[in-house]
Amino acid sequence: MSICRTDRPRSIVITGASTGIGAACALDLDQRGFRVFAGVRKEADAQRLRQQASERMVPLMLDVTDAEAIAAAVETVAADVGPAGLFGLINNAGIVVPGPLELVPIDKLRMQMEVNVLGQIAMIQAFLPLLRAARGRIINMSSISGRVAAPYLGPYCGSKFALEAFSDALRLELRNWGIKVVLVEPGSVATPIWQKSREAADEASGQINADAVALYEADLDALRRVTQKIADNAMPVEKVLRAVRHALYARRPRTRYPVGTEARLTYRFLRFLPDRLRDRVIRRGIGLP
């Protein structure tokens, strides 16, 4: 069933639509009748979306850390949607910088924040006039890592905690214009991010002094094993798509959508434990000695 009730389809901008959750959202919403502007960084990804989607799909060459690219995207979208404005902005672009915080290079940590936090805010600032025209919705793709921090994912967790705080503030600030701000908080999802994270971790380890890496060797070995198990049992992306659809369709969407058993347990239980007990539960749960 399509959400569109007029001759002109409602328009959605999605960042990080090359693979994973972003690509799945772009294709799903295209099938449901939306005009989807899908942010990608490579022409090959744009071409793949064109082949899989309807003629409504519009790939955008978009890097959320590039102000000129964002401005060009706004110009393209504005020319297309006109006074109808933008129905939704889905901020999905993100990267994972793994590793012990002691050893993560500051430039890598800065890039984590640039993509996962500042890039999302830059997109919101740029598209707010179009969203205001349509009383649109902002959906920020967070994570259970935005509610409870995990060891060796400090940069990523920090970025998601920040995104949660920014989203809470925006929800209050944009209420006067009827703009809904929603957080989707998935647990482990079966997407290419697991392979990308492992590759990033291996690359980072190769660039760090071996003696320093050895300090964390036991923990990192245990973490690799449990990460593979989590990836093997990750939930299908369709569960995330259902949350996104509800956030777009519902007259009064929830402020947060924890997705999956991990996320629901974290949301309802783990985050309320005393700090030291939570630390023990997390370390034991991910197999750290």
pLDDT 10s digits, 151-192: 888 999 999 999 999 999 999 999 999 999 999 999 877 555
pLDDT digits (tens, 9 = 90+) for 58-74: 999 999 999 999 999 99
Start-to-end CA distance of the chain, whole Å, equals: 50
Listed as ranges, residues in the chain with pLDDT below 50 are 1-6, 194
Catalytic residue among 152, 156, 216, 257: 156
pLDDT at 1: 40
Confirm if 162 and 183 have CB atoms less than 8 A apart: no
pLDDT at 32: 96
pLDDT at 260: 85
pLDDT at 286: 75
Pick the CATH number of 11-285 from 3.40.605.10, 1.10.645.10, 3.40.50.720, 3.90.1170.50: 3.40.50.720
pLDDT at 45: 96
Q: Is 156 part of the annotated catalytic residue set?
A: yes
pLDDT at 269: 81
Amino acid at the residue 46:
A
pLDDT at 208: 60
What's the pTM? Answer: 0.88
DSSP readout, 126-171? Answer: HHHHHHHHHT-EEEEE--GGGTS--TT-HHHHHHHHHHHHHHHHHH
